[in-house]
Amino acid sequence: MENIQFRTQLKRASHKEMDVVAIHFPKNENAVIALKSIRGLQFSRTLGCWYAPYSNENMKNIVDTMKQFGFVDYKGVQWTKQPVELSLHKSKSIVSPEIAEQIELFRRWMTSARYSANTVQTYTEALRVFLVHFVNKPIQNIDNQDLINFNNDYILQKGLSQSYQNQIINGIKLYFKQVQRSAMDPNLIRRPRPEKTLPNVLSKEEVKAILNALGNLKHRTMLSLIYSCGLRRGELLKLKLQDIDSKRNLVLIRQAKGKKDRVVPLSMLVLDMLRAYFVAYKPQYWLFEGQTAGEPYSEKSLQSVLKLAIVKAKIHKPITLHWLRHSYATHLLESGTDLRYIQELLGHSSGRTTKIYTHVSTKNLQNIRSPFDDL
């Protein structure tokens, strides 16, 4: 239930020649900590509040973050709840027959090249947005300067994320190289500098509180399996009954990211939980089925399960399912597990990806004595 005493009010404003969202709320340290995950968040003495550049992505993140604390009034922004960049990907705008034909050619080529369904969806819809932007220009005449203009006039102007910018470039690069066979070279376009962000990690106490907050056996089992095996959301939902090897205490993850199989050890405690879950729910094909028999549990429902657990556990952080995977890796590292094994368990192609967890592990940091203590 929302705390009607805690009210957040969002207003559209112009600050330092930028279109921003002003965030007004009662003084609350936890709310400030939660908000700091918002892209471009700053405090303004002039506005007398925290603010962030206006974009659909920031609006969604701000609303999702602050509604954990109470009511959020965003009428002053005239914003409607829509997925941000996904709404662009899934745009139902009418396209010309030429664009529709090119998108279908691109889809067929990627499908035949065995690209994953998610990549096909992302790249074709990224291409749709790009081609619709130049609807009055023949596709064969689109050049590097058009891509630069699209970056400046569309992506940057709308404040879209770096990941979306990279998806656009990746999709367009592949399309013009494999389908158009044109002289256009997206490699000449400067990609955004990668953000050096650290993974979000929960303490073991916080993980325990989240899992214990769920009374529903199915919900608790799903989140427990994600944390105990370091699974991605999609990996959990694609598990089948035969992927649980109860004799060897292993979980087989098939064709995960990068089309790789891997195995991870299964906790005996989680195995006991799975056995109780199987007796109670009797899944037929997928390990976790939705309301319709034979259909896998939906991503949206799984996200709702986590949100419910966070509220019940009274943890005021913008936690996502991937935080549980990050926490699994960090807790393994802190318990002395070698990075090379963690890399294998997570399915990382490069050890550099896994190495980032050394920056969030507190095992060694806690042994460092501050010089302040010697004053």
Longest dimension (CA), the chain: 75
Residue 326 is a catalytic residue: no
Query: Among 51, 123, 328, 357, which one carries the catalytic annotation?
Result: 357
Query: Among 220, 233, 325, 326, which one carries the catalytic annotation?
Result: 325
Q: Residue 351: which pLDDT band, with cuts at 50, 70 and 90?
A: confident
Q: Residue 363: which pLDDT band, with cuts at 50, 70 and 90?
A: low
CATH of domain 204-359: 1.10.443.10
Can you name the CATH fold of 7-81?
Alpha-Beta Plaits (3.30.70)
Degrees, nearest 5: CA angle 229-233-235: 65
- Residues 62-77 have pLDDT tens digits of 888 888 888 888 887 8
Neighbours of 196 (CB within 10 A): 7
Q: Do 13 and 22 form a contact (C-beta atoms < 8 A)? A: yes
Can you name the CATH fold of 86-188?
DNA polymerase; domain 1 (1.10.150)
Q: What is the mean pLDDT of the chain?
A: 83
What is residue 352's predicted lDDT score, i.e. its pLDDT?
79
| CA 100 – CA 95 distance, rounded (Å) | 6
Lowest mean pLDDT among 150-159, 169-178, 364-373: 364-373
Q: Coil, strand, or helix at residue 202?
A: coil
What is residue 28's predicted lDDT score, i.e. its pLDDT?
85
Query: Among 60, 218, 322, 355, which one carries the catalytic annotation?
Result: 322
Q: Coil, strand, or helix at residue 116?
A: coil
Q: Do 71 and 10 form a contact (C-beta atoms < 8 A)? A: no
Is residue 293 scored above 60 in pLDDT? Answer: yes
Q: Coil, strand, or helix at residue 312?
A: helix
What is residue 1's predicted lDDT score, i.e. its pLDDT?
41
Is residue 144 scored above 50 in pLDDT? Answer: yes
| CA 184 – CA 351 distance, rounded (Å) | 34
Residue 254 is a catalytic residue: no
Q: Listing from the earlier edge strand, what are the strands of the sheet with 42-44?
A: 42-44, 49-53, 18-24, 7-15, 71-76
Query: What percent of the chain is modeled with pLDDT above 70?
Result: 85
- Residues 255-275 have pLDDT tens digits of 877 778 899 999 999 999 999
What is residue 95's predicted lDDT score, i.e. its pLDDT?
67
Q: Residue 335: which pLDDT band, with cuts at 50, 70 and 90?
A: confident
Lowest mean pLDDT among 227-236, 253-262, 359-368: 359-368
| CA 166 – CA 164 distance, rounded (Å) | 5
Residue 282 or 135, more confident? 282
| CA 361 – CA 339 distance, rounded (Å) | 12
| CA 326 – CA 320 distance, rounded (Å) | 10
Helices (H), 38-96: 56-66, 85-89
Q: Residue 80: which pLDDT band, with cuts at 50, 70 and 90?
A: low
Q: Do 185 and 251 form a contact (C-beta atoms < 8 A)? A: no
Q: Residue 204: which pLDDT band, with cuts at 50, 70 and 90?
A: very high
Q: Residue 221: which pLDDT band, with cuts at 50, 70 and 90?
A: very high
Residue recorded with tokens 């990211």: 257
Residue 369 is a catalytic residue: no
Query: Among 15, 133, 177, 257, which one carries the catalytic annotation?
Result: 257
**Domain range summary for the chain, segments of one domain joined by +:** 7-81, 86-188, 204-359
Q: How far is CA 88 from CA 98, 154, 192, in A?
A: 20, 12, 20
Query: Among 128, 220, 232, 233, which one carries the catalytic annotation?
Result: 232
Residue 316 is a catalytic residue: no
Q: Residue 225: which pLDDT band, with cuts at 50, 70 and 90?
A: very high
- Residues 185-194 have pLDDT tens digits of 666 666 666 6
Residue 233 is a catalytic residue: no
| CA 5 – CA 26 distance, rounded (Å) | 9
Residue 51 is a catalytic residue: no
Residue 275 or 90, more confident? 275
What is residue 369's predicted lDDT score, i.e. its pLDDT?
66
Q: Residue 85: which pLDDT band, with cuts at 50, 70 and 90?
A: very low
